[in-house]
Structures are given as C-alpha cells and as structure tokens.
Amino acid sequence: MSAPAVESREIVLGGLRVAYTLRRSVRKTLGLRIDSRGLTVGVPLRVGLREVEAFIRSHAEWVIDKLRSRPVAEAQAAFDISDGAAIPLLGDAWHLRLASGNNRVLWHEGGPQRVVELALRSGGDARKLLLRGLQQRGLDLFKNRVEEFCLRLGRPVPAVSLSSARTRWGSCSSRSGIRLHWRLIHLPLGLIDYVVAHEVAHLVEMNHSPRFWSVVESLYPDHLAARKALRQVAPSLPNI
C-alpha cells in the first residue's frame, strides 16, 4: 500500500512536541514551510519517514524559532456570559442562568433545556465561576475516561490533571501523569475519548512510532476521523 499524500504527524524537537503536515508529491527535494497553520514538510513520494524526521531535526533550531515568532492570530472574542446564552458542553447546547446565591454552579439536566446556573454572590465574577465549574466537571469526567482506557490496557491509572496549553489537547509524562486541556469539556464524548486514548497510549509507547499508533487504534479504531474532526471543531469553541 502506498503512503498517503498528506499525513498529520508529530515530532519532538528540543523537548517540544511539534505537529506537522507531511505532504508527498513528485518534487525532487525535501522542503519546510511554516505559516499560520504550522509546519508543513514537502517530500518526494518515495522518501521514508526516517529520512524525513532526520531532515526536520537537522533544521530543528530554525523550525522552533519560526514557530515561536509567528504572528499571533487575531484573538477570538470573549464568550458573552449573559442570561440565556448557549454554551456547548459534551457536544450539546446548554444555556446559562444567572441567579443570586453563594457562588455555586448548578447543573440542571431535566426540563426542555439543559441549564448551567451560576448562583452568584453580590458582585461575584460570573466568568470566573463558570470557568471553575467547567474545569471541575471536566476533571471529574477526564479521570473517569482515563481510568476506563487504562483498564482496557491493563495499566495502572496515573495522576490526571488539567491543562491550559496553547497548542496541545493533552500530554503524558512518566513523572506527572496525564494532563488534559479543560476546554475538551465542550466537545462530544467521542472526541474527548480520542484525546484520552491518545495520551493513555503513551503509557505504553512514549513516542509516535507505528507501535504507538497501533496501541491508539486498539483503544480507538476510528482515530483518524476523530483527529480530523477535532481539528475542524477547535476554532469554534467558546473563549471563556
């Protein structure tokens, strides 16, 4: 079977995990391009992955410098926290209700609408309270999903914590365990499970080798479609 013309891959450069697009064509030489979408590597059709990665590593300093110096994209407008505003949660639309209370978040799943009630003290910060509620709900769910996938692999369950990283949905470390971006709570459970499966697979293979992707596939067979869907939906998530 021939290699796909376009692949999404990752490589570690100077301790930094860098995502890149591998694009095969009839070109005769390897080339690197960095734009608003990130790193693209153009390669001849028959060049192997080992040679590709050696080429990227030989330009690691340039790649990292260029990625870090890219112009920052125009900031997404902050989510409007107002009574009745719709917010995605696990892929469904929930609606905010602003009320008086002792700074608690209440989740109302019955009735015609699913409601997130922000019970605020006088002068309370609605945005901070909503963020706290979403992060706590996310952490509870993520711990459950990590445990589920670890049980499938027969691996001990590591520590699970939240991340606010700008470029990654998750990370896995033998020291600190698994970190998952809190904004995953906005996504459908199927996409959350893909990210969880990806990070749990690193407990077996701390790399992105074919053996790693084999572990991911054993946990989440439709991982290629999930990765594509995740990339498409990410820009639409609310900026809280």
Could you tell me the pLDDT band of residue 228, with boundaries at 50, 70 and 90? confident
Q: Are residues 52 and 152 in the same domain?
A: no
Backbone angles phi, psi at 75, to 5 degrees: -65, 140
Q: Are residues 64 and 129 in the same domain?
A: no
Question: Is residue 100 included in any domain, yes or no?
Answer: no
Place of tokens 């820009």: 235
Question: Is residue 82 included in any domain, yes or no?
Answer: no
Number of domains in the chain: 2
Q: Are residues 150 and 63 in the same domain?
A: no
How does strand 92-100 pair with strand 115-120? parallel
Question: Is residue 76 included in any domain, yes or no?
Answer: no
Report the pLDDT value the prediction gives residue 110, as an integer from 0 to 100. 82
Report the pLDDT value the prediction gives residue 45, as an integer from 0 to 100. 87
State pLDDT tens for residues 27-64: 889 999 987 678 999 999 889 999 999 999 999 989 98
Specify the amino acid at residue 235. Answer: P
Question: Which residue among 68, 83, 98 closes a domain?
Answer: 68
Q: Are residues 133 and 231 in the same domain?
A: yes
Q: Are residues 143 and 58 in the same domain?
A: no
State pLDDT tens for residues 155-210: 999 999 999 876 689 989 888 899 999 999 999 999 999 999 999 999 999 888 88
Q: Are residues 129 and 232 in the same domain?
A: yes
Could you tell me the pLDDT band of residue 235, with boundaries at 50, 70 and 90? confident
Q: Which residue range is the domain that position 48 belongs to?
A: 6-68
How does strand 177-181 pair with strand 170-173? antiparallel
- Which token pair is 177? 């365990």
Place of tokens 């990370």: 171
Q: Are residues 142 and 213 in the same domain?
A: yes
Using alpha carbons, select from 232, 134, 223, 149 the residue that is nearest to residue 181. 134
CA distances from 33 to 25, 45, 48, 192, 214 (A): 15, 17, 19, 30, 29
Q: Are residues 142 and 232 in the same domain?
A: yes
Report the pLDDT value the prediction gives residue 167, as an integer from 0 to 100. 67
Place of tokens 């989510």: 79
CATH number at residue 221: 3.30.2010.10
Q: Are residues 51 and 131 in the same domain?
A: no
Question: Is residue 47 included in any domain, yes or no?
Answer: yes
Q: Are residues 226 and 140 in the same domain?
A: yes
Residues 6+ apart with CB under 8 A from 18: 10, 11, 12, 39, 63, 64, 67
Q: Residue 104's beta-bridge partner residues?
A: 119
Report the pLDDT value the prediction gives residue 73, as an integer from 0 to 100. 47
Secondary structure letter of residue 185 according to DSSP:
G
Question: Which residue among 27, 53, 68 closes a domain?
Answer: 68
Question: Which residue among 21, 45, 68 closes a domain?
Answer: 68
Question: Is residue 95 included in any domain, yes or no?
Answer: no
Q: Which helix (H) or strand (E) holds 146?
A: helix 126-153
Say if residue 1's pLDDT is above 50. Answer: no
Q: Residue 205's beta-bridge partner residues?
A: none
Q: Are residues 134 and 232 in the same domain?
A: yes
Report the pLDDT value the prediction gives residue 233, as an integer from 0 to 100. 86
Could you tell me the pLDDT band of residue 75, with boundaries at 50, 70 and 90? low
Question: Is residue 101 included in any domain, yes or no?
Answer: no
Question: Is residue 115 included in any domain, yes or no?
Answer: no
Task: Enumerate helices (H) and strands (E) in the chain, giving the number of each.
Answer: 6, 11
Say if residue 2's pLDDT is above 50. Answer: no
Rounded to whole angstroms, the Cα distance separating 102 from 192 reads: 31
